[in-house]
Amino acid sequence: MIELIKLCVSFLASTFRSRAALQAENLALRHQLCVYQRSVKRPKVKRADRVFWSLLAKAWTGWKDSLIFVKPETVIRWQRKRFKEYWRKLSRSGEPGRPPIPNEVKELIRTMSSMNPTWGSPRIVGELAKLGISVTKSTVDKYKVRVKKPPSPTWRTFLKNHAKDIVSIDFLVVPTVRFKILYVFLFLSVERRRIIHFGVTEHLCFTVSGKFVCIPESA
């Protein structure tokens, strides 16, 4: 860093020199650079040197003509690396992820969901928006109180509770020995598995509870 300060001071002092003195100094410096270039295979470049040439390349269009110790592509690579480091540092400055939900909002979501079990998440989001609280549906789903619903009865339980009120109805055909068709219509009690009523006919007509019923032939 001290070397860069000396260079800046020398640059300011050169504004007061004559043109001939500047040309002589430029010739002397270039000759010394040629000697170093012959003797040193790879110069040691510090971070301050990279920053200096990265800034100089943006401010001066003729920087490539004066560059000797590295290639211009190297300076461009330094600029890109510095750009990536800057934005990486900027992106990592804040805390990752979404901002945390305040405990007061969490408790309010739980209270609203418990006191209004019929409200869905969109309704709670809308009510919170009226209070000036902006939350997403997924946030409400995460913190709202889950209402425990009673388990649904099984089919076995349903039959046990309602078997006496359930009747099974069936309609079937029975062929006879003489190759005739008999039509059978019956009612079966599910609770006792007994036949409550049945009717048999050759012409699709029979009585049910004292009433005469006929089924069309097309059926």
pLDDT tens for residues 167-198? 888 888 888 888 888 888 888 888 888 888 88
State the Cα–Cα distance between residues 57 and 73, nearest whole angstrom: 11
Overall average pLDDT of the 35-56 stretch: 72
pLDDT at residue 181 in the model: 87
Does the pTM exceed 0.75?
A: no
Please state the domain extents for the chain: 2-91, 103-143, 155-214
Model confidence at 219, in pLDDT bands (50, 70, 90)?
Answer: very low
Instruction: Name residue 175's beta-bridge partners.
Output: 181
Helix extents (H) in 60-154: 63-66, 72-91, 103-115, 121-130, 137-143
Closest CA to 159 of 171, 151, 168: 168
Give me the mean pLDDT over the 3-14 stretch: 58
Which residues, 6+ apart, have CB-to-CB distance to 172 below 8 Å?
Answer: 183, 184
Give dist(CA 50, CA 67) in Å, integer.
Answer: 12
State the chain's mean pLDDT as an integer: 77
Positive or negative, the CA dihedral 10, 12, 16, 19 is positive
Please tell me whether residue 200 adopts helix, strand or coil conformation. Answer: strand
DSSP annotation of 92 reads T
Strand partners, 184: 172, 200
Residue 10 CA to residue 3 CA, distance in Å, equals 11
CA distance to 147, 171, 203, per residue, from 219 (Å): 50, 12, 12
Burial class (CB in 10 A: 0-12, 13-18, 19+), 122: exposed
The tokens for 211 are 């009433």
